[in-house]
Structure 1
Amino acid sequence: MDLKRIKRLRREGGFTLTEIMVVIFIIGLLSTVVLFNVLGARTDAQVKTAQTNITRLANALEQYSLDMYDYPSQRQGLEALVTRPDNIPSGASYRQGGYITKLPMDPWGRPFVYERPGDKSGRAYDLYSYGADGKEGGEELDADIGNWDN
């Protein structure tokens, strides 16, 4: 082999270690940016899902109160929207099949909280999810999501 041919093969041989490391760094950086954007979108979707389910439950509670002349008691809870309670007021008419077919869980897999009377919302009841952390209170992503937000 002649010397010119060997030099040409070395130049055309491939990438240097530095070039490969730069490419790996750029791919890692892009992956991190994409990951944070995807996780943020998922969290936003979970909050919106919780708000939508709270609105659905609140609408069912309003229908219940129109038919039953009051909201379910604290003891009856949200289950009164699915199953007919024992003590029906005189003249009240519980809707056949209930007001909702199944109680939804919040996006984090926990039941919604129903409190009567409502201290947080200033309404007849409070209806809320504890949010991502599953604990009362919290800030930002861990904040409670309730009917006081609507």
Structure 2
Amino acid sequence: MIKFFLEGSLKGLGKWLLFLGYPVIFCEGKISDQDILKHKDCIFLITSPETAIRLEKAGVKFLLLPRDNLKTQLKLCLNRLNLKPELKLNLCTLCGGQLIPVNKEDFKSLIPEKVYQRYEEFNYCPSCQKLYWEGDHVKRLQEKFQKLIS
């Protein structure tokens, strides 16, 4: 399973990688030598040429991305890393935890009444206790994704 370690400026890209089902770790601040050693099994996604030199010396996989262009960043990741352009929506967007399908009856107290009546399938993040369902926002998310990768 591919895992990513992203510099802090790539939070937007990281969210889309989570939507695609890839685990993501964000670095707060500058990527340190300890970060590199600790996360050698990850692919580092960076915008800093200086960090690229350090990663290359350490023999760690990385992809140097342009700053401030989410569309280009996402397309480069998909193409250069052979990522499947399919939204899995199986990871929590808050903590990155694996979502598990749950019986809506067991979570009735957490679900707004209209949502409870309208939807049958719910997923739960045991790490941060967030509940997810495939509402209208998922269709908008898929449309936005298609625009980003077109």
Which TM class, normalised by the smaller chain length? under 0.3
CA radius of gyration, larger in: 1
- Structure 2 length as normaliser, TM-score? 0.24
Bigger fraction of residues in strand: 2
- Structure 1 length as normaliser, TM-score? 0.24
